[in-house]
Copies of this chain bind each other. A is one copy, B any other.
């Protein structure tokens, strides 16, 4: 691969560009972004070698689509129209059903691979891009059978160079499970932050009382609303299901407290403690 086009030079696209530039000889990385300031930053940070436009995509060996998921479903068909027969296009969005659906009948469907690298931080934009972001992280690939075999191979080599492990899943299952292990965490964190800020807005000193536990639990409330609003919109049904269950569990906990049933409060926590073992596999 000689010519890589990153569409959306933010945390994910930018980090991928940094690793690929470092891993590969004779490579040129081009950036396309609706935000001209991000392109300037990405150039200054040497994340990209030059800016480009959609007209240049015919020269691409690889196109990485790393923009908010509502934009992806609009841009992906246009991108597939413009590439060459040998170009691999991957997206990296946090929902997979809508993006797979929108190109299911596209004549260049076999040039596209739907992926979700489970990697990131709570920061965004080119300045958030870092080396080794994908090292030892999981990459979920959907509908692999719909991608041309030689382009699958190209993609797997890329992910291997980035240090990722691969899991295959269908888009519906991806969107359902990711609602639990990722989307719900973000909402619980945003609403925790909101609850505390609302209560303590006139007493900023109170945050002196907050420790690393609070910091850890509200970390995701720093995340970008531009990125997350379309994810919640696209995965609405699954996310509402997780919220219903989460709210029901919180209510049950509150009811035990109101009933002074602290034996059940103890059990609720004890039974959840084995999250320790479950999390051991996560970096």
Contacts and interface: CB of A to CB of B under 8 A. Distances in A.
A220 B217 contact: yes
A197 B275 contact: yes
A232 interface: yes
Contact of A218 (B199, B218, B257, B279): B279
B283 A212 contact: yes
Interface string A191-229: 111111111100111111111111111111111011011
Given A200-B177, A272-B194, A247 B247 contact: yes
For chain A, which range describes its interface: under 10, 10 to 19, 20 to 34, or 35 or more residues? 35 or more
A184 to B, nearest CB: 7
Contacts of A283: 212, 215
A110 interface: no
B229 A266 contact: yes
B272 A190 contact: yes
A249 interface: yes
Nearest to A222: B276
Contacts of A195: 180, 184, 242, 245-246, 249
Given A118-B209, A222-B276, 11 more contacts: A140-B209, A180-B196, A184-B195, A190-B272, A191-B253, A193-B275, A199-B242, A216-B220, A233-B260, A240-B254, A250-B250
Interface of A: 118-122, 137-138, 140, 165, 167, 174, 177-178, 180-182, 184-200, 203-223, 225-226, 228-230, 232-233, 236, 239-240, 242-247, 249-251, 253-254, 257-258, 260, 262, 265-266, 268-276, 278-279, 281-283
